[in-house]
Copies of this chain bind each other. A is one copy, B any other.
Amino acid sequence: MVDALKNTPPHQVVIVGGGFGGLYTAKALAKAKVNVTLIDKRNFHLFQPLLYQVATGTLSPADISSPLRAVLSKSKNTKVLLGEVSDIDPQAQKVILGDEAIAYDTLIVATGAKHSYFGKDDWEDFAPGLKTVEDAIEMRRRIFTAFEAAEKETDPEKRRAWLTFVIVGGGPTGVELAGAIAELAYQTLKEDFRNIDTTETTILLLEGMDRVLPPFAPELSQAAEESLQNLGVVVQTKTLVTNIENDVVTLKQGDVVRETAAKTVLWAAGVKASPMGKVLAERTGAQCDRAGRIIVEPDLSINGHPNIFVIGDLANFSHQNDKPLPGVAPVAMQEGEYVAQLIQQRLKGNTLPQFAYSDRGSLAMIGQNSAVVDLGFIKLKGFFAWLFWLLIHIYFLIEFDNKLVVMLQWTWNYLTRNRGARLITGQESLSQVGNDKINSYYTPAENRQPLNV
């Protein structure tokens, strides 16, 4: 038996995507008797929950990124490949990477989601979303450029448009962005300009539902809204965006339609599946939901393809409640760990009960000293919620990479209300405020970073 095993070629696991789902699968397989190949377009894992801190100048991209090779360097059964998977061949059990075909016994697709403009893709130029490092740098460039442009603008109306920030979407990302921009305008930048008063900045947070943070308990939504208002954010619920053009956002509140002049619009609303979802559906006949996510079986595999799993934001898992699990990191992490375990059990001829997500709660940062935490059995707001938020994020952030420095940076920024990472960089960073015409303020989306696959 031992000798027979020795002669079996090792089981080949291929994971596409190095986000929370893919990386946790790989980590959980580190000591399994399988060969693992992790493929990602980027050479680093990104801690997306803190991306808004890059967008608002508190942290640097490297502070929330871990090189995939470094994270997996001790997993000797694991190979990292940098590249973009273009196709999948379930019959031949291969994924296509450039000119190469990589064979798998088990395939895990964890390519995540990108933001969606509900069919209004031309809005993307005016209202960037926040999924990649490059997205965050673009947001950071726009936010800080807007203050610079306002400082130069002599026309009061145009100046007001530069000092108006509209955030579309009142989920955690929208709330966190709005809170951070309010702190920037009302605290950090207050003394830095000579012609403008940054405390005259307007920050509009728009949400289509009747409250911000819809997944949270209503009393926490209420607390979040109050904290945001205390920070200076104008929260508008039951508000739909019907158009976004160069300088104007059109809003619909009930039957009332109005226009707001705003140079900076940030998108924190919808998401849709990454393009790999479509490829996968075509090749396997898997069903997709409206957002393009793959509807998976109770064990996270694709119907009829028990050796292909879909996890994380790309998966629609609806076997636990009547609605799909949310697209958050803990879901992806638990799914990855489940699949890793299932693969090992199957190799032993066993199986596992269906996947079950253990929801440990939701949390969202509003600003310094203020957050909301919903653990189900306990609900926190204010300072203790903030501290809890901080500790949880640090715990997961340092897991791979010992990013102690990030914790110290935060502590420091908290004590000094400092935001040192407010660089305006990138190819458009030079000319946009060089003259009165801010030509290249709106970088076309195609010149920005497409999303991670």
How far does the alpha carbon of A194 sit from the alpha carbon of B38 in the complex, in Å? 12
- Find chain B residues with CB under 8 A from A84 CB: 430-431, 434
Interface members, chain A 404-427 (any B CB < 8 Å): 404-405, 408-409, 412, 416, 418, 420-427
CB <8 Å contact, B435 and A134: no
Let me know if A44 is at the binding interface, CB within 8 A.
Answer: yes
List residues of chain B with CB within 8 A of the CB of A421.
60, 62
Residue contact B430 to A41, C-beta cutoff 8 Å: yes
- The reply to whether A412 and B423 form a contact with Cβ atoms under 8 Å apart is no
A66 at the interface (CB under 8 A from B): yes
Kindly list chain B residues whose C-beta atoms are within 8 Å of the C-beta of A66.
Answer: 420
Contact across chains for A82 and B425 when beta carbons are under 8 A apart: no
Q: Which residues of B contact A41 (CB under 8 A)?
A: 430, 434
User: Are A43 and B98 neighbours in the complex by a CB distance under 8 Å?
Assistant: no
| Residues on B with beta carbons closer than 8 Å to the beta carbon of A189 | 69
CA distance A191 to B71 in the complex (A): 11
Looking across the interface, which residue of chain B has its beta carbon closest to that of A37?
A: B194
Which B residues touch A42, using CB under 8 A?
423-424, 429-430
From B65, B99, B418, B436, A423 is in contact (CB under 8 Å) with B65
Residue of B nearest to A62 (CB): B421
Interface presence of A74 (CB below 8 A) = yes
The interface residues of chain B lying within 8 Å CB-to-CB of A69 are: 189, 192-193
Distance in angstroms from A333 CB to nearest chain B CB is 21
Chain A residues numbered 56-85 whose CB sits less than 8 Å from any CB in chain B: 60-63, 65-67, 69-70, 73-74, 79-84
List which A132-166 residues lie within 8 A (CB) of chain B: 133-134, 144, 148, 151-152
Contact yes or no, B427 A447, CB < 8 A: yes
User: What CA separation (Å) do A429 and B451 show in the bound complex?
Assistant: 12
What is the CB-to-nearest-CB distance from A440 to chain B, in angstroms, rounded to a whole number?
A: 13
- Whether A433 is near chain B, meaning CB under 8 Å from some CB there, is yes
Q: Which residues of B contact A134 (CB under 8 A)?
A: 425-427
Whether A351 is near chain B, meaning CB under 8 Å from some CB there, is no
Which residues in window 168-197 of A have CB below 8 A to B?
Answer: 189, 191-194
Q: Of the candidates B63, B73, B83, B412, which one forms a contact with A60 in the assembled complex, judged by CB atoms under 8 Å apart?
A: B63
Is the CB–CB distance between A449 and B427 below 8 Å?
Answer: yes
Cβ of A402 under 8 Å from chain B: yes
Is B191 a contact partner of A43 (Cβ separation < 8 A)? no
Is A401 in contact with chain B by the CB < 8 A criterion?
Answer: yes
CB of A376 closer than 8 Å to a CB of B: no
Q: Does A306 contact B (CB under 8 A)?
A: no
Q: Return chain B residues, CB-CB under 8 Å to A43.
A: 144, 148, 422-424
Whether A99 and B436, one on each chain, are in contact in the complex, defined by CB atoms closer than 8 angstroms, is: yes
> Besides A44-B424, A99-B436, 9 other CB < 8 A contacts?
A41-B434, A60-B421, A62-B422, A67-B422, A97-B435, A98-B436, A134-B427, A408-B408, A427-B449
Q: List 20 A-B contacts (CB under 8 A).
A: A41-B430, A42-B424, A42-B430, A43-B148, A60-B61, A61-B423, A61-B425, A62-B421, A62-B422, A62-B423, A70-B420, A79-B194, A80-B194, A84-B434, A97-B435, A133-B425, A405-B408, A405-B409, A408-B408, A430-B449
